[in-house]
Chains A and B, each alone.
Chain A
Amino acid sequence: MRQTDQIAPPNSILVVSGPKGVEIPDPSDALIWSTPSCVIVGCLTFCDGETEVTFGDADEVDPGALPAFDATLKTPDREVIVWTVEDETIFRTDVPDVETRVRVWANAPKEPDVVIIGLG
């Protein structure tokens, strides 16, 4: 199910993971960095404005461009949440498997103000 929100997350990053057993990746200068259980996605600098974030099945949200990130996420609880450094949950959804393909599209290489997170 497609969900969309306008947010300015702290530290200008969003976290995509399951609810438990999350291994946070080491900080990186890249826009997106990850471990098998966690993906961190950079957004527009939080104090400069909001980022439009869309979350849902990849079939529904795929904008037709090459994704900036494409990998498999461990989802042993069959749940994926999108949350912030300050523990605010932005989106959550159930997934059918213990591993879920995650694709991320962004409209800019450094400070995207449009981010799309597609599952499956």
Chain B
Amino acid sequence: MYVPDAGRAASRALQRAGWLLHAHLVETKLQALRDAVENKYDPNQPRVPAGNPDGGQWTDGGGGTGGRLPSGPGTLLDVDDSESERTRLAQMAPRRGRGGTGRIQLGNGQFAQPTPAQAARYEFARGRADALLSQVRELDPRWSPRPSLRESVEGAIRALEAEAREAEAYLRELPLKGIGPGPSAGESIPARGPTRRFRVDERREINRIGRESGCHTCGNKDPGTDSGNFIPDHQLPNALNRSDVRQRLYPQCNTCSRRQGGTTLKLKRSHE
């Protein structure tokens, strides 16, 4: 199902997640360097030459300074690890969590500070859940995922992942009811807008596709109409195509067409 806004939202979410993952990688490398320095890492310490079974390993073979990497202003290790600097960096980042300034609001109303890795996972999960939810709500504005516990950052991430799974399952279910190209969808032809006055060539083509691949919703190759014609079905259905997405016509049987009408009515009522 194509919903342009959802695609853009997902893309923005992925960009945010990419930024955070990158920040996390940099932070991890810096931490590794700090750890190495604290363990008296010396870049000049000799290694066993390549080709030796212990190639690349540090040796005690002298030559090392035993000193520390240069640190201080203007050097690689010019890292201000204070709380205020962390907060400043978090504010520079795109909004990470629903709490703003990188903090994530939990179910009890409290805010929690995620680690960079958690922030990245949270952002990714949130972007995915938001994109899927916006797709669902485009069709069914009243739909809500089941509430989940968010008592920790990990809980909040799991809750978002659960929301995304639930929305995905809902979206997967709709084509079985005629909303969206169904599981038996084969070829389709472009629709000339929402009109239901089909040309002879369009009906002929829909009948050909229907005879080959069946009703796009249920796969039945018998259209179930007195005329023996398949029904050219707009996807998305006209009544739900509020974003004016370009539609296509798929063959549908009479039973699925009527059932689709009932489902459409139910979805439309949820808009009111």
Asked if B254 lies at the interface with its beta carbon under 8 angstroms from chain A, I say yes
Q: Are B262 and A45 in contact (CB under 8 A)?
A: no
CA distance A45 to B229 in the complex (A): 9
Chain B window 152-167, contacts with chain A (Cβ cutoff 8 Å), 1 for yes, 0 for no: 0000000000000000
Pick from A27, A40, A47: contact of B196, CB under 8 Å: A47
Write the nearest CB–CB distance from A45 to chain B, whole angstroms: 5
Interface size class for chain B? Answer: 20 to 34
Q: Are B258 and A42 in contact (CB under 8 A)?
A: yes
Asked if A90 lies at the interface with its beta carbon under 8 angstroms from chain B, I say no
Write the nearest CB–CB distance from A96 to chain B, whole angstroms: 26
Which chain B residue lies CB-closest to A15? B265
Instruction: Knowing A27-B259, A29-B255, say if A47 contacts B231 (CB, 8 Å).
Output: yes
Which chain B residue lies CB-closest to A13? B261
Instruction: Knowing A24-B262, A85-B264, say if A46 contacts B226 (CB, 8 Å).
Output: no
Question: What B residues does A26 contact at CB under 8 A?
Answer: 262, 266
Q: Which of A4-12, A56-64, A66-74, A97-105 lies at the interface with chain B? A: A4-12
Asked if B108 lies at the interface with its beta carbon under 8 angstroms from chain A, I say no
Question: What B residues does A85 contact at CB under 8 A?
Answer: 237, 239, 261, 264-265, 268
Write the nearest CB–CB distance from B16 to chain A, whole angstroms: 39
Q: Are B238 and A86 in contact (CB under 8 A)?
A: yes
Which chain A residue lies CB-closest to B231? A47
Question: What B residues does A13 contact at CB under 8 A?
Answer: 258, 261-262
Interface of A is mostly: loop
Write the nearest CB–CB distance from B131 to chain A, whole angstroms: 28
Question: What A residues does B231 contact at CB under 8 A?
Answer: 45-47
Q: Are B262 and A25 in contact (CB under 8 A)?
A: yes
Question: What B residues does A24 contact at CB under 8 A?
Answer: 262, 265-266, 269
Pick from A40, A86, A87, A110: contact of B262, CB under 8 Å: A40
Question: What B residues does A15 contact at CB under 8 A?
Answer: 265
Selected A-B contacts with CB under 8 Å, 13 pairs: A8-B196, A12-B254, A22-B269, A24-B266, A27-B258, A28-B262, A29-B259, A40-B261, A42-B258, A46-B196, A47-B232, A111-B226, A111-B254
- Please list the 6 inter-chain residue pairs (A to B) with the smallest Cβ-Cβ separation, ordered nearest first: A11-B261, A27-B262, A27-B259, A13-B261, A24-B265, A48-B227
Name B's A-contacting residues (CB within 8 A): 177, 196, 198, 203, 225-227, 229, 231-232, 237-239, 254-255, 257-266, 268-269
Name A's B-contacting residues (CB within 8 A): 8, 10-13, 15, 22, 24-29, 33, 40, 42, 44-48, 85-87, 108, 110-111
